[in-house]
Amino acid sequence: MSNKKFITSSGIKLWPKLGMRASFGLMALELAKVDDQLLIVTGDVSTSAGLDRFRKKYPEKYIDVGIAEQNLLGIAAGLASEGHNVITTTFAPFQTARCLEQIKVNLGYMNQKVCMIGLASGLVLGTLGYTHCCIEDLGILRSIPNIDVISPADTTELAKALEAFYLSKNSMYIRLTGGSNIPLIFNEDYNFSLGKSSTLKEGKDIAILSTGTMLSVAMETANLIKKSNLSAEVINIHTIKPIDANKIIECGKKFNYIATIEEHNIIGGLGSAVAECLTSSGGTAKQLFYGINDKYSDGGEYKYLLKKFKLTAEDISKSINDTIK
């Protein structure tokens, strides 16, 4: 990619109103202008990925392999080996678990570079059932060497993650969560660095570590527990791998409590990654895990499921209050 920037201030304002998927489609249009090696490979999801305009405008940069994710990953790796910058995208379960061994061998083992975008991860497709929800992707991809894993908090951070892909030597998985209207956290371009967390708010009683669109729940939680005179530090762990171990270890020493909030199974995701750092650091912080409690529940709307798993700011702040008092 040339040095031309594809992140514009008008984009930053527009994207959150469209949600992650549609804004990815707009970002792809911008990327195509600055990257002549760009190819986007999908599996019959152009509309869902916000790529209808891209497909019409850049047919030579757009490849649809049909509903065949194993082949999708193999083709993407073959194209990448010839020097193309390849972005693949489909719904998160099909982008990850369906073709996991292709990811392991073609990207991890061979250290070939492809950017995978998992659409509608987490619980947002809850009315469609757990075939389409994805609460496992962080855990399974985190265990494959040579793959960076990013869970952007908002649409600006998605754009920053795409930028980071070009600078990394590894493949990347970008996990898109949230509904069609994303609470904006970063309302202007900012310094994003792969593997480095960012502190959004300082505090002293508890550190709340979160990732993806749950970051806005983390901010809201910090506000709610203020009423109980608890001051929370809120840290954005946008990169699940490589995880910012130094920051986490520092938190383990500085705080008595660390909470992790994620829209993912509590096994294998952010909470697990944080615990792996904390247990070897000699800190004394107690970790509170907020996530999906290793369960496929009944289905329902996004908000219904978040409530069901007690992933709302009200539920989490109550639990934190009860724990610390």
Partner 1 sequence: MNKNEISEIKSLSKKIRKDILNMALSAGASSSHFGGSLSTVEILSTLYKKFLKFDVSNPVWQERDRFILSKGHACLGFYSILYEMGYIKEDDLKLFEKNGSFLLGHPVINKKIGIEFSNGSLGMGLSLGIGVAMSIKKRSLSSKVYVLIGDGECNEGSVWEAAMSASHFNLKNLTVILDNNNFQQTGSNNEIMSSEKLFEKWKSFGWEVININGHDINEINNAFKKSASRPKLILAKTIKGKGFSFAENNNDWHHKILTQKQYEEALKELNEQ
Interface residue with partner 1, options 79, 134, 288, 316 (CB under 8 A) = 79
CB of 41 to partner 1, least distance (A): 9
Window contacting partner 1 (CB under 8 A); options: 10-18, 68-76, 89-97, 193-201? 68-76
Burial of 176 (0-12, 13-18, 19+ CB in 10 A): buried
| 32 sits near partner 1 (criterion: CB under 8 A) | no
Size, binding site for partner 1 by CB under 8 A: 25
CB-based contacts of 100: which residues, under 8 Å, 6+ apart?
140
| 81 sits near partner 1 (criterion: CB under 8 A) | yes
Q: Which position has the token pair 């910012």?
A: 244
State the Cα–Cα distance between residues 220 and 86, nearest whole angstrom: 37
Q: What Cα–Cα distance (Å) separates residue 46 from each residue in 30, 54, 174, 242, 266?
A: 17, 9, 17, 30, 31
CB of 1 to partner 1, least distance (A): 18
| 190 sits near partner 1 (criterion: CB under 8 A) | no
DSSP 103: I
Tokens of 298: 């009944």
Let me know: does 141 contact 265? Beta carbons within 8 Å.
no
CB of 83 to partner 1, least distance (A): 8
x/- letters, 84..123, toward partner 1 (CB under 8 A): x----------------xx--xx--xx-------------
| 68 sits near partner 1 (criterion: CB under 8 A) | yes
CB-based contacts of 137: which residues, under 8 Å, 6+ apart?
92, 93, 95, 96, 97, 118, 121, 173, 175, 264
CB of 117 to partner 1, least distance (A): 18
Q: What Cα–Cα distance (Å) separates residue 47 from each residue in 12, 88, 118?
A: 22, 14, 14
CB of 42 to partner 1, least distance (A): 13
Nearer to partner 1, 81 or 256 (CB): 81
State the Cα–Cα distance between residues 37 and 3, nearest whole angstrom: 14
Window contacting partner 1 (CB under 8 A); options: 11-19, 21-29, 76-84, 230-238? 76-84
Type of residue found at 319? S
Nearer to partner 1, 103 or 278 (CB): 103
Nearer to partner 1, 37 or 280 (CB): 37
| 146 sits near partner 1 (criterion: CB under 8 A) | no
Q: Which residues bind partner 1 (CB under 8 A)?
A: 60, 63, 65-66, 68, 70-71, 73-84, 101-102, 105-106, 109-110
